[in-house]
Structure formats: structure tokens, C-alpha cells
Structure 1
């Protein structure tokens, strides 16, 4: 192996010329492409970071909305429960009033029936008394006068 100085100088000059040509025509474009790609990557990372921050913001907003909706749902359920309790109380109260009214009507009906029965009983007593008096006296007496006497007797006795 022979190393020739001329060959080293020629190769070095060749390399320098090649380097200058590459620098003149290709290095700037290649560096521009590399810089552009670097900017795209950085832009993508920034977008991803921004999207992640936005997603976190949306997530926290949705979680707050869910909590609010749960609270509103619970309030709505509680409201309907209170309304149902109120309606139940009104129905029970109305039923109690109706029961009292029915009881009062029944009492009045009983009193009316009792009064009718007492009147019929008095009438029966009067008729029996008249028959008894007729048989005892064996004659017919004035029925109006006889009824008056019996009414007085019943009033004194308290029937």
C-alpha cells in the first residue's frame, strides 16, 4: 500500500469542491426541509398539548354538568315526592271530611227515622187507647177530644 501525497491532496480538493457544491445547492434546501419538518413536529406537539388541555377542560365541565344534573334530578324527585305527599294528605283529609259528612247524615237520618217511629208509635198508642176506651165505655166518643187527652197524657209521661 502506497500512500501518495498527490492522491491525498487531489482527494482533499475533490472533497472540498464536492462539499462547496453540496453546500451551495443542497445544504440550505436540506436544512430548510429539516427546519420545516422540525416546525411541523413542534406544531403538532403544541396542537396535541392544546387539545389535551381542551379535553381536560371539557372533562371537568362535563363532570360539573353531571353533578349539577344529578343534583337537579334529586331535587326534582324530592319535589315530586313532596307533591305526592301533599296530594296524599289532601286525599286523606277529603276522605275524613267525607266520612264525617256521611256520619252526620246517618245520624240525622237515624234521628229522623226515630222521630217518625215515635210519631207512628204515638199514633198507634192513640188508636189502641181509643179502641180500649170505646170497649170500656162501649160507646164511641169524640175522636178529636180523645186524641187531645191522650196527647196530654203522653206529654206528661214523656214518650
Structure 2
């Protein structure tokens, strides 16, 4: 095997010329395209990371808001419950007072009616006694007749 030194030198020179041409026209543009593509990909990743961080912050804020609204809702419900209990108590107290007033008025009315009935009964007894006395005086009454009038008087008073 013969090694041809001249051919090796020519091949090496051709290789370097070809490499220089490729470097000058292809490699720079390819590297520039690859660098710009890399920059775009890194920019996209940064944007996605930024959006992810923002989404995490929004979710945390949302969770805080949900907890706050829930607590506010519970406080509001508790407040309305206390107000309802207060109104219920006031209504019960007012009903008790009204019932007591009605009872007192009824008792007073009963006492008045009782006194009125007592007065009417007394007046009736007096009237009947006067009528009986008048009859007795008008007639001369025998003992049997007298007993009969008294029984009749008692029967009228009793009914």
C-alpha cells in the first residue's frame, strides 16, 4: 500500500475549503436558526412557568376567598339565627303579657259580673220579699197558706 502524500494534502485542503464554505454559508445560518429556536423555546417555557406561577397564586387567592366567604356566610347565618331567636323570644314574651292581660281582664270582668249578679239577686230577693209581704198583708193567711207562700218564695229564689 502506497500512501500518496500529495493526495492526502489535496484532500485535506479540499476538506478545509469545503468546511470554510459550509461554515460561511450554512453553519452560521443554521446556528442562528437553532439559537433563535432555542430562544423561542426558552421564552415559551418561561411564559408557561410564569402562567403556572400566576395560576398557583390565583388558586391560593381563590382558596382564601372561598374560606373567607364560607366564614362570612357562617357568621351571617349565626347572626340571623340570633336575631330570629331574639324575635322569637320577644314574640313569646309579648304573647305571655297579652295572655296575662286578657286573663286579668277576664278575671275583672268575671268579678264585675259576679258582683252584678249578686246585686241583682239581692234586688230580686228584696222585690220578692216585698211582694210576699204585700200578699201576706193583703190577705189574712192561715198557717198552711203562709207555708205555701214561703215555699213558693223559696222556689222562686232557688230558680
1 CA distance for matches of 2:25 and 2:5? 30
1:3 deviates by 4.2
1 CA distance for matches of 2:2 and 2:41? 50
1 CA distance for matches of 2:2 and 2:103? 137
1:47 deviates by 1.1
2:123 is aligned to: 123
2 CA distance for matches of 1:63 and 1:22? 58
Gaps of at least 5 residues in structure 1 are: 140-159
Alpha-carbon displacement from aligned partner over 1:85-130 (angstroms, at most 9, x marks no partner): 0111111012111101210121122012112211210111111211
Alpha-carbon displacement from aligned partner over 1:12-36 (angstroms, at most 9, x marks no partner): 1111110010111112111111111
Range 47-56 or range 73-82, more displaced:
47-56
1 CA distance for matches of 2:60 and 2:119? 87
Q: TM-score, normalised by structure 1?
A: 0.80
1:76 paired with 2:82, answer no
> What does 1:34-53 align with in structure 2 at a 5 Å threshold?
34-53=34-53
2:109 is aligned to: 109
2:27 is aligned to: 27
> What does 1:133-152 align with in structure 2 at a 5 Å threshold?
133-138=133-138
RMSD: 1.6
1 CA distance for matches of 2:27 and 2:130? 150
1:14 is aligned to: 14
1:2 deviates by 5.1
Q: TM-score, normalised by structure 2?
A: 0.80
2 CA distance for matches of 1:54 and 1:44? 15
Gaps of at least 5 residues in structure 2 are: 140-159
2 CA distance for matches of 1:63 and 1:52? 16
The count of corresponding residues between Structure 1 and Structure 2 is 139
Alpha-carbon displacement from aligned partner over 1:14-61 (angstroms, at most 9, x marks no partner): 111100101111121111111111211221221122112111211111
Q: Which 4+ stretches in 1 moved above 6 angstroms?
A: none
Secondary structure, aligned partner of 2:45: helix
